[in-house]
Amino acid sequence: MSKMSARKRAQKKSNTSLWIIGGVIAAAVIVLGLVLVNLSAPRTPRVPAQTSSGRILGSADAPVTIDMYSDFQCPVCRRADLMIQQLAPKYVDTGKAKVIYHNFAFIGRESTQAALAAECANDQGKFWAYATHLFDNQTGENVGAFSDANLKRFAQELNLDTTAFNACFDSGKHNALIQQELEAARTLGIKATPSFFVNGQFIEGLLSPDQFSQTIESYIPKP
């Protein structure tokens, strides 16, 4: 009896093991199938939120839209700004592409304050002039280059209405907008600056001018 019981227990244990192995294999097959379906499914481009018209450089009906996510303290973002300036005569000035600037002020307080200052300049139609002035006056991250006093001085150097600018800046008028932009960008997967969407195609980091030009060209309708 003991040998028979032992044999039955061994058989039962073997059957249980087979069921477990079979279950694991079945689960693996299901997971693999879901992965393959996900990879083969068409991907819808993530579309950034629109911003105020003052941060749109170029014709509103341009066929190519370049959404640029940037932090004014980011040194690579300065290179991105210079690249945009380099490509603008060929694409922006001719109506082939437009650039939309999105604040992604994440490096520190000076990033947020610089973004606020640029928005106050935007109230006077001077966003891009002020943005370039910020990039041109970078000296490092959180080292005082974008102190409140300097940001107000930049407005004076650009011949803005300093009374209106200072009132906007001191009140923190656009702080909520800047925070909303930061959160919205993160939901799109933005983690670093500069980052771009070119007609929905995501690009993290800075490409060479030639590579960026090729990307733009790929979305320009051919005659």
Q: Do residue 60 and residue 84 come from a single domain?
A: yes
Range of the domain at 107: 53-217
Q: Do residue 71 and residue 28 come from a single domain?
A: no
Q: Do residue 158 and residue 85 come from a single domain?
A: yes
pLDDT at 25 over 90: no
Q: In this structure, is residue 88 part of a structural domain?
A: yes
> What is the mean pLDDT of the segment spanning 64-87?
96
> What is the mean pLDDT of the segment spanning 32-37?
35
Q: Do residue 122 and residue 199 come from a single domain?
A: yes
Residue 194: cis peptide before it, omega within 30 degrees of 0: yes
Q: Do residue 15 and residue 67 come from a single domain?
A: no
Q: Do residue 18 and residue 122 come from a single domain?
A: no
Q: Do residue 80 and residue 188 come from a single domain?
A: yes
Q: In this structure, is residue 223 part of a structural domain?
A: no
Q: Do residue 85 and residue 2 come from a single domain?
A: no
Q: In this structure, is residue 222 part of a structural domain?
A: no
Rg (CA), the chain: 27
Q: Do residue 91 and residue 200 come from a single domain?
A: yes
Q: Do residue 37 and residue 119 come from a single domain?
A: no
Q: Do residue 36 and residue 122 come from a single domain?
A: no
How many domains does one find in the chain?
Answer: 2
What does the pLDDT look like over 50-66, one tens digit per residue? 555 578 999 989 999 99
pLDDT at 42 over 50: no
Q: Do residue 209 and residue 138 come from a single domain?
A: yes
Q: What angle do CA 9, 10, 13 make, to 5 degrees?
A: 85
Please state the pTM of the whole predicted model: 0.76
Across the chain, mean pLDDT equals: 83
What does the pLDDT look like over 135-182, one tens digit per residue? 999 999 999 999 999 999 999 999 999 999 999 999 999 999 999 999
Q: In this structure, is residue 48 part of a structural domain?
A: no
